[in-house]
Amino acid sequence: MSRANRSAVTLIEMLVVVAILGLLVAILLPAVIGAREAGRRNRCINNQKEIATAVNRYETAKQRFPGYLNGTQAVHKPPQQPRGAVSWVIVLLPYLDRADLWNEWMNWRAGTPYPVPTAGGPPGPVIGQLVCPSDARDVHAGPLFTPLSYVANCGLPDGQSPPMVDTPASTVFVNAYPAIALSQAMKTSDLRDGASLTLMLSENLQATEWFPTVKPPPAGQLPAARVATEADVGMVWWPVARVPSSNVWINQGRKDMVAVPPPAIEYARPSSNHPGGVVAAYCDGRVEFLSEEMEHRVFQSQMAPHDAAPALSGMFVP
């Protein structure tokens, strides 16, 4: 009586199968990663489209663009009291379908700080449209973490010595705090080069928070609110004679994450985790992917609403 034939997988056959599987993974993995990144980039594009639409709705209602800093007043009576300087994000909340947060901001009790989470409680409000899905923001984690991936066109950097003064030729989002600065606020008609050629928003990995805080706080205390800076919520351009470092170029120094805000002003430029460039929005609401190979002269000219103005003559990188 013969024994039944037994089949077995030889070592060579097993190695062939493993090799084939490895080859398939090597072929498919880049495609899967690319598809995931394409999805994240499309989400980023949609985020900026929503923000740009909100900015243009604000400009239509107010006849001016928001400042990167703005003054607000509480609505409680009597009397109305100033609430201090707030970022461009906060005044856009009603136009981003977040009237709940806007009402919370405007109605808090006089003489008390803006409501903050208790120690060990949940983080501050996170607004989905303000965060690029490709961003890694864990270095900023904290009780008042209100993450911000997108920055506004703030023109020339403030606070420099000697000073560089913004004009309608150089910026879109001015410092509109205190209220007297509103006379300098920009409107669509000031965009002499045209809304389609003037940058409004971009990504920046070193952007901090739309409601910035001091981190870490003193022992036993909650974080205290601080005024946002251009480096927190904006991007700037530099005249050729004043460029501080190569970090002002698109995506340069993008891995130099800063754990404690605010970062240095030279990081107030476009940067992202998207391979090859950044997503940016123009003042007409159009959103494009800007290559990190873009000449700095081109980037500067798109930041300035009127780069042919005499005041800017000779200020660009050739």
Reported confidence tier of residue 13, pLDDT bands at 50, 70, 90: confident
| Contact in structure between 196 and 287 (CB atoms under 8 Å) | no
| Secondary structure class of 277 (helix, strand, coil) | strand
Least confidently predicted of 13-22, 159-168, 219-228 = 219-228
Predicted confidence at residue 212, as pLDDT, reads 75
What is the rounded average pLDDT of the residues 11-36? 74
b/e burial code for range 245-281 (CB count within 10 A of at least 16 → b): eebbbbbbbbeeeeeebbbebbbbbbbbbbeebbbbb
Side-chain-side CA neighbours of 224 within 13 Å: the count stands at 7
Least confidently predicted of 4-8, 141-145, 280-284 = 141-145
What is the rounded average pLDDT of the residues 136-143? 51
> The tokens 């008042």 sit on which residue?
144
Strands (E), 174-274: 175-176, 199-203, 234-235
For residue 156, what are the contacts with CB-CB under 8 A and spacing of at least 6?
Answer: 164, 165, 166, 170, 171, 236, 237, 238, 239
Reported confidence tier of residue 146, pLDDT bands at 50, 70, 90: confident
For residue 259, what are the contacts with CB-CB under 8 A and spacing of at least 6?
Answer: 139, 140
Condensed to tens digits (0 to 9), the pLDDT of residues 152-200 reads: 999 999 888 888 888 888 999 999 887 666 778 899 999 999 999 999 9
Asked if the model's pLDDT at residue 111 lies above 60, the reply is: no
Share of the chain above pLDDT 70, in %: 71
Return the higher-pLDDT residue of 222 and 237: 237
For 94, the token pair is 């009603």
Predicted confidence at residue 140, as pLDDT, reads 45
Asked if the model's pLDDT at residue 61 lies above 90, the reply is: yes
For 241, the token pair is 């004679």
